[in-house]
């Protein structure tokens, strides 16, 4: 057993404009990030697995209307809420994912159920929903997921005939990476997708290797940003491969992976963690909602260049 347990989270990265955030706005986000970190870290302290800690932290972000996942998900072109999530175990390379999922309160737990109780990695749409009902996961009516802000974003997107990343003055995909007392890594990612996206669109957050990856030998990664570019670059696995084959540090590998994304025209960021407890919370966008907690470093949260110590 080790006490080097560590957890990191993100709540989306993109072209966030700092002048649109008052100090009160920032504090509201900080509080949710801190709560998610504290609950996940407590799981690790109590001896829970990195998989469970990742789920606990992500579920708190999914429950907040501030983030584009779970309750705060954005609307598709048809005015529906379709959520994606994935999770991966770095010890045995087990993985589970769901896409185009409706009415499940916490999609990250749906992904975990797939990992634990299904012969397949990725379930979609009605099949995924049927599986969740069978496993008696918490369901909520459409009204639970409705927020006025998200509906206004859809109305604006329809007027302009565009698909919007939810990164202008709010946030996108959420995720977490964790290292437990057994030295095992895990990574999870959850999202509500893109505003006004084509019905049935699958994000990188549901695709192992693109928005999410974990391997005890290399690192655990959760990504956020322009999802289709993350899919084309297979960024999460690419980072793991850079660590493995180039023998670079996690920080160096993260920068290289993001530079390749930038050259492809992509934008966003990632959080990564290795079995030594080393972290990289890096982004090429204007900001990324992020936080980390460990015994050595304490609890820190940030949005832009600041990275603040918390209790």
Distance CA 282, CA 225 (A): 12
Catalytic annotation present for 226: no
Q: Please choose, from the candidates 35, 50, 69, the residue with its C-alpha nearest in 3D space to the C-alpha of residue 174.
A: 69
- Cβ-Cβ contacts under 8 Å for 163 (sequence gap 6 or more): 157, 194, 195, 196, 197, 198
CA angle, 216 then 84 then 270, to 5°: 45
Go through 31-45 and write b for each residue having 16 or more CB atoms within 10 A of its CB, e for each that does not: ebbbbbbbebbebbe
Distance CA 9, CA 139 (A): 24
Question: Can you point out the beta strands (E) in the chain?
Answer: 6-14, 83-89, 95-101, 122-124, 174-179, 185-191, 212-215, 219-225, 268-273, 279-283, 287-294, 298-302, 308-310
Distance CA 61, CA 106 (A): 9
Distance CA 110, CA 121 (A): 12
Catalytic residue among 173, 218, 224, 226: 173
Say if CB 283 and CB 269 are below 8 A apart.
yes
Is residue 306 packed enough to be buried (19+ CB in 10 Å), middle (13-18) or exposed (0-12)? Answer: exposed
CA 10 vs CA 61, 163, 268, 276: distances in Å: 9, 23, 11, 20
Q: Please choose, from the candidates 222, 218, 186, the residue with its C-alpha nearest in 3D space to the C-alpha of residue 205.
A: 222
φ, ψ for residue 192 (rounded to 5)? -100, 0
Say if CB 34 and CB 292 are below 8 A apart.
no
Which positions are catalytic?
173
């Amino acid at each position: 057993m080790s006490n080097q347990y560590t957890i990191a989270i993100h709540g989306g990265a993109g072209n966030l404009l700092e002048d649109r955030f008052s100090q009160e706005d920032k504090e509201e986000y900080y509080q949710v990030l801190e709560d998610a970190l504290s609950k996940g870290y407590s799981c690790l302290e109590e001896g829970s697995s990195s998989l469970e800690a990742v789920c606990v932290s992500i579920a708190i972000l999914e429950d907040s209307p501030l983030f584009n996942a779970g309750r705060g998900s954005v609307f598709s072109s048809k005015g529906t809420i379709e959520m994606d999530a994935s999770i991966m175990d770095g010890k045995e390379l087990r993985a589970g994912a769901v896409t185009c999922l409706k009415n499940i309160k916490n999609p990250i737990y749906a992904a975990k159920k797939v990992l634990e109780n299904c012969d397949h990695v990725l379930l979609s749409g009605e099949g995924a929903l049927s599986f969740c009902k069978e496993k008696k996961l918490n369901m909520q009516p459409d009204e639970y997921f409705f927020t006025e802000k998200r509906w206004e974003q859809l109305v604006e997107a329809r007027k302009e005939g565009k698909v919007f990343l939810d990164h202008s003055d709010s946030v996108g995909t959420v995720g977490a990476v964790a290292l437990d007392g057994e030295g095992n890594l895990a990574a999870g990612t959850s999202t509500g997708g893109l505003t006004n996206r084509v019905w049935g669109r699958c994000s990188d957050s549901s695709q192992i290797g693109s928005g999410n990856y974990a391997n005890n030998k290399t690192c655990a990664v959760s990504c956020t940003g322009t999802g289709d570019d993350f899919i084309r670059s297979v960024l999460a696995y690419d980072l793991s491969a850079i660590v493995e084959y180039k023998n670079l540090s996690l920080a160096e590998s993260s920068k290289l992976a993001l530079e390749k994304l930038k050259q492809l025209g992509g934008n966003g960021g990632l959080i990564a963690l290795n079995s030594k407890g080393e972290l990289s919370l890096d982004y090429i966008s204007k900001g990324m909602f992020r936080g980390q907690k460990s015994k050595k470093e304490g609890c820190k949260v940030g949005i832009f260049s600041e990275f603040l110590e918390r209790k």
